């Protein structure tokens, strides 16, 4: 197994955000299902909110994502993440990290403006008010025009991204590092490609395809060369309703060499991702369900070779 599996399975490095509707420009917008109390509680097909209050279904109340990695020299690395969810959106994230025998706890808190748009995320040690890092999102109208990350604790990883919009493409510029990326969306506002550049040289291209509301394939060429096919069950993915409203910032804030397909498969697809069929091998994400066919757990063990293995566990409560 190669580094591509690390990108495909260690999903902690994303930015959890929420807003009602994130338009790119007049041609591109990510639509988010309405969430609220139905105006007619006797009608489960109420167009205001199709949730039947007598059978709320798969409204996620708790979600946890835990990974245990065994890496030569570093030994066992444990990252346990708990997402704090209220009224169908993620408010904050608690993370416990164990490395080289030492455990640290941190919390990330999301701030929204009066329009429900994410404008800031701050992380700090649990129980402390001292911020260790901060991400700030700036809008012009409804367009995200800047994402600035401040590495306050160490000051080595700070960056500022600016964005320009043309038709169905968004161009990101990181002027300080001489890097850029071009994101292309289809008529349904789905990401279909991301191409990263250093100067004028293309370093990586990811193309994505979809079927039945799911991201079915991600192909990377350049610095990483791998093709990933994502296989799904036929049941509703509860993560989409909760994380759907943060997908645009996650895409635009992704690292130059990040693989986005696995993120879309996990958090933005209609059904639950259960198998990764890659040019590097096949991994089963062993999913368990309750009697309502709601997913309640998903686990995978990945052998990356060279003495590196990763165990990932997800837990869902409703």
Half-sphere exposure at residue 210, Cβ-oriented, CA atoms within 13 angstroms = 18
pLDDT exceeds cutoff 70 at 16: no
Residue 301 has pLDDT above 60, yes or no: yes
Confidence tier at 57 by pLDDT (50, 70, 90): low
Q: How far apart are CA 29 and CA 3, in angstroms?
A: 32
289 has a pLDDT exceeding 50: yes
Residue 52 tokens read as 């039947």
Indicate the CATH number for domain 3-317.
Answer: 2.40.160
- For residue 309, the Cα-to-chain-centroid distance in whole angstroms is 22
Mean pLDDT estimate for the chain: 83
Q: What whole-number distance in Å separates Cα of residue 217 and Cα of residue 193?
A: 11
Q: Is the pLDDT of residue 42 over 80?
A: no
For 58-109, the pLDDT digits (tens) are 689 999 999 999 989 889 999 999 999 998 889 999 999 999 889 999 999 9
The per-residue pLDDT for 154 is: 86
Taking alpha carbons only, the member of 266, 288, 192 closest to residue 16 is 266
How much of the chain, in percent, has pLDDT values that exceed 70? 82
Structure tokens at 94: 């608690």
Contact status, residue 101 vs residue 78, Cβ threshold 8 Å: no
307 three-state secondary structure? coil
Kindly tell me the sign of the dihedral angle through the C-alpha atoms of 255, 256, 260, 262.
negative
Q: Which residues, in sequence order, are bridge partners of residue 220?
A: 206, 226
What residues does 297 pair with on adjacent strands? 288, 315
The reported pTM is: 0.81
179-205 pLDDT per residue, tens: 999 999 999 999 999 999 999 999 999
Residues 103-155 have pLDDT tens digits of: 999 999 999 898 888 899 999 999 999 999 999 999 998 899 999 999 998 88
């Amino acid at each position: 197994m190669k580094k591509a599996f690390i990108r495909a399975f260690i999903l902690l490095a994303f930015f959890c955000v929420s807003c009602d509707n994130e338009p790119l420009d007049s041609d591109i917008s990510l639509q988010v299902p309405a969430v609220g109390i139905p105006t007619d509680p006797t009608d489960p097909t109420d167009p205001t909110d199709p949730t039947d209050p007598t059978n709320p279904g798969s409204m996620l109340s708790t979600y946890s994502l835990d990974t245990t990695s065994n890496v030569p020299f570093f030994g066992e690395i444990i990252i346990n993440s708990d997402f704090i969810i209220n009224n169908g959106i993620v408010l904050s994230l608690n993370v416990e990290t164990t490395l080289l025998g030492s455990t640290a706890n941190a919390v990330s808190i999301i701030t929204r403006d009066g329009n429900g748009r994410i404008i800031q995320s701050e992380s700090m040690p649990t129980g402390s008010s001292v911020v260790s890092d901060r991400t700030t999102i700036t809008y012009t109208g409804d367009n995200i025009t800047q994402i600035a990350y401040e590495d306050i604790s160490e000051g080595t990883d700070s960056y500022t991204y600016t964005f320009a919009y043309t038709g169905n493409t968004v161009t990101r510029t990181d002027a300080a590092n001489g890097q850029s990326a071009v994101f292309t969306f289809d008529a349904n506002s789905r990401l279909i490609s991301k191409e990263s550049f250093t100067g004028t040289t293309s370093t990586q291209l990811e193309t994505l395809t979809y079927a039945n509301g799911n991201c079915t394939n991600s192909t990377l060429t350049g610095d990483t060369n791998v093709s990933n096919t994502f296989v799904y069950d036929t049941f509703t993915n509860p993560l989409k309703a909760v994380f759907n409203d943060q997908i645009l910032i996650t895409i635009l804030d992704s690292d130059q060499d990040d693989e986005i397909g696995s993120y879309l498969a996990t958090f933005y697809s209609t059904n639950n991702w259960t198998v990764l069929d890659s040019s590097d091998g096949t991994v089963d994400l062993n999913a368990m369900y309750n009697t309502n066919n709601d997913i309640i757990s998903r686990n995978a063990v990945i052998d990356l070779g060279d003495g590196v293995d990763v165990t990932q566990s997800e837990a869902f409560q409703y």
